Amino acid sequence: MAELLKGKAVADAMKEELSKKVSDLKAKGFTPRLGIIRVGARPDDLFYEGGAKKTCDSIGMSYEVFESPQDIAQEEFEKVVLEVGANKEINGILMFAPLPKHLNERKIRSLIPVEKDVDCMSLGSAGKVFADDPTGFPPCTPTACMDIIKFYNIPLKGKRAVVLGRSLVVGKPLAMLLMREHATITICHSRTENLESVCAEADILIAAIGKAKMVNAGYVKPGQIVLDVGINEDPDNPGKYCGDVDFASVEPIVEKITPVPGGVGSVTTSVLCKQTIMACELQNGLA
Ligand code: NDP
């Protein structure tokens, strides 16, 4: 039976540390504050927002939600983003994406100041992540994967890591973060040939493809560590969700695996707070 890499233990340890940091910052007169920019009220966004608020509350951090109507015009929304960006009380910004189709998302992303871009929405932040510049915040999900790997003392140096998925929000930045820790990286995607055998060569396999239970016994080998980033509707259990990994067939083979739910997704809001606190420290010359 594989060891379960549970996200809650990682998030709990992180929150304990963050609470102390927030207390110290408050003693110096600073309260880290997250600005949440949301257009409309998509259930997924509201769910994540609820989790982010709860995490902020649990560590004593503050937040403010900037909600715009679904049909907001480009110019008006640009004003909102610029105002939140210029707001001296806000240290970090979470903006839900994708934005409604009528908005020019690329342009709006570029309006988020890099020093407040705690979920890596702008190309400026992505550039810093790719250049290993520690003042650029990677997206929260790949950072959560790295925090899980560190918490469970999984060695990366010289190891073969296969990242399944090449999106800008998970796959690509995750590959950069793994490489920073001296792993040897292979990035796979929908056109990769011999996908199963490439995945099976990994010491660490991370699935971020958005395909329910696609990664089955044919993709893995004994001794592997598997992280499952996927959040998909479970085709076998309506109303429930599942990962990109077919847990039932993979878990008996591999050494360690993150569950879904209860794995990577349980760590992301703590990362969001961690990066907002870091942003607060950097903005005030405390880091
Ligand atoms: P995207 O749809 O943006 O990217 C999916 C990637 O997977 C693409 O690179 C795509 O390849 C690749 N892919 C799709 N199908 C296959 C296939 N059959 N074989 C090989 N590669 C394939 O998804 P995201 O990166 O945004 O999200 C990935 C998953 O992670 C989703 O389940 C999402 O819900 C989840 N997620 C979870 C988060 C969390 O906090 N736990 C946060 C963000 C996302 P190509 O580029 O060739 O099209």
Q: Check whether residue 144 and residue 107 sit in a common domain.
A: no
| Model confidence band, residue 28 (pLDDT cutoffs 50, 70, 90) | very high
Domain count, the chain: 2
Q: Using an 8 Å Cβ cutoff, are 142 and 165 in contact?
A: no
Report the pLDDT averaged over residues 54-77: 98
Residue 85 belongs to a domain with what CATH number? 3.40.50.10860
Judge whether 35 lies within some domain. yes
Q: What is the pLDDT of residue 287?
A: 87
Q: What is the pLDDT of residue 159?
A: 98
Q: Check whether residue 149 and residue 258 sit in a common domain.
A: yes
Residue 213 C-alpha to ligand 1 middle, in angstroms? Answer: 12
Q: Check whether residue 76 and residue 164 sit in a common domain.
A: no
pLDDT digits (tens, 9 = 90+) for 183-204: 999 999 999 999 999 999 999 9
Q: What is the pLDDT of residue 255?
A: 98
What mean pLDDT value characterizes the chain? 98
Judge whether 48 lies within some domain. yes
Q: Check whether residue 89 and residue 148 sit in a common domain.
A: no
Report the pLDDT averaged over residues 49-78: 98
Judge whether 287 lies within some domain. no
Is pTM beyond 0.85? Reply is yes
Q: What is the pLDDT of residue 199?
A: 98
Residues in a beta bridge with 177: none
| Model confidence band, residue 226 (pLDDT cutoffs 50, 70, 90) | very high
Q: Check whether residue 40 and residue 145 sit in a common domain.
A: no
Q: What angle do CA 140, 108, 73 make, to 5 degrees?
A: 130
Q: Check whether residue 197 and residue 260 sit in a common domain.
A: yes
Q: Check whether residue 260 and residue 145 sit in a common domain.
A: yes
Judge whether 39 lies within some domain. yes
Residue 247 belongs to a domain with what CATH number? 3.40.50.720
Residue 209 C-alpha to ligand 1 middle, in angstroms? Answer: 3
Judge whether 151 lies within some domain. yes
pLDDT digits (tens, 9 = 90+) for 115-162: 999 999 999 999 999 999 999 999 999 999 999 999 999 999 999 999
Q: Check whether residue 213 and residue 173 sit in a common domain.
A: yes
Report the pLDDT averaged over residues 206-223: 98
Question: Which is the closest atom of ligand 1 to the Cα of 166?
Answer: 9
Judge whether 155 lies within some domain. yes
Q: Is the pLDDT of residue 30 over 90?
A: yes
CA-CA-CA-CA dihedral for 55, 56, 57, 61, to nearest 10: 150
Judge whether 84 lies within some domain. yes
Report the pLDDT averaged over residues 24-30: 98
Q: Check whether residue 257 and residue 147 sit in a common domain.
A: yes
Q: What is the pLDDT of residue 91?
A: 98
Q: Check whether residue 194 and residue 237 sit in a common domain.
A: yes
Judge whether 208 lies within some domain. yes
**Gap between the Cα atoms of 88 and 78, Å rounded:** 18
- DSSP letter string over 214-263? -B-GGG--TT-EEEE---EE-TTSTT-EE-SB-HHHHTTTSSEE--SSSS
Question: Which is the closest atom of ligand 1 to the Cα of 141?
Answer: 40
Boundaries of domain holding 63: 29-112
pLDDT digits (tens, 9 = 90+) for 233-267: 999 999 999 999 999 999 999 999 999 999 999 99
| Model confidence band, residue 105 (pLDDT cutoffs 50, 70, 90) | very high
Report the pLDDT averaged over residues 60-71: 98
Ligand 1, pocket residues at CB < 6 Å: 141, 164-167, 169-171, 188-191, 195, 208-211, 229-232, 244, 264-265, 268
